[in-house]
Amino acid sequence: MAATASELPQVVDSAFRSAENKQRDQYRHPVETLSFFGIKPEMSVLEVWPARGWYTEILAPYLKDKGKLTIANFRQNDGSLEDERKIFWARLAAKLKQDIKKHPDHFGAVQVEEFDPPGLMQLQQVNQFDLVLSFRNSHIWNEEGYLLDVYRALFDMLKPGGTLGLVEHRSSRLSEISSRAGEGYLDEYYVIAVAQQAGFILADRSEINANPKDSKDYPKGVYALPPTLAMGALDKARYLAIGESDRMTLKFTKPLVP
């Protein structure tokens, strides 16, 4: 099926997507979120760190006929990785790459790149993408101390006038100087300030992915909530009732002229 802007809901409702993934639409609002970011079927789009590919399986069929999707995923494990979290990320990246190869009718020709800050951040595509998307990755980059460097790299990859779309777990506002509060959460004003320092202009913000039930004060931070449910059986019903995290949804643009 050739995708057009009006068919984004049909792509989201595709039989290819599992019932488990569709269940999360109520928290992630993919049609509204991607529409807010201004996606068009003829765009060249970069998705950064897609993990299991929840958004990839929506983006790829939508773009495959008229546009182009590139994913910048974590690098493959060549045996040198020692950090358990990075080994896990590499495993997810390999699994998604296999899934894309296994289902060409659904995904089309997705270009796969490796992106492993801080050492591997520069893709070959400079000034090439109409839209760069990052879903719930910024807290990791901030924890590791290279959020600004990543945003600068994404800035370079975008065409002048292009859009950066960010969705991130949102903390409560504590002070003018705080960046995060609770594991996995980031302050919205802090994220905006870092993006602006990287050269971006804040074009708009949305409450599409807000969740007022999220009190952001759990023993294991955002990971206590679904889908991770890091607390196991302890208070599981409570966390399921809250749902996925409260999230900022931010739209930035790269200036047409430096």
pLDDT tens, residue order, the chain (258 aa): 334 444 899 999 999 999 999 999 999 999 999 999 999 999 999 999 999 999 999 999 999 999 999 999 987 767 677 778 888 888 899 999 999 999 999 999 999 999 887 777 666 667 899 999 999 999 999 998 999 999 999 999 999 999 999 999 999 876 555 555 568 999 999 999 999 999 999 999 999 999 999 999 898 999 999 999 999 999 999 999 999 999 999 999 999 987
Residue with tokens 């897609």: 50
Q: How far apart are the first and last CA of the chain?
A: 40
Inter-residue contact 130 to 43 (CB < 8 Å): yes
Count CB atoms within 10 A of the CB of residue 48: 25
Q: Tell me whether residue 175 is exposed, middle or buried, using C-beta atoms within 10 angstroms of its C-beta: 0 to 12, 13 to 18, 19 or more.
A: exposed
pLDDT for residue 182:
66
CA 177 remoteness from chain centre: 25
Tokens of 219: 């023993």
Q: Tell me whether residue 75 is exposed, middle or buried, using C-beta atoms within 10 angstroms of its C-beta: 0 to 12, 13 to 18, 19 or more.
A: middle
pLDDT for residue 125:
65
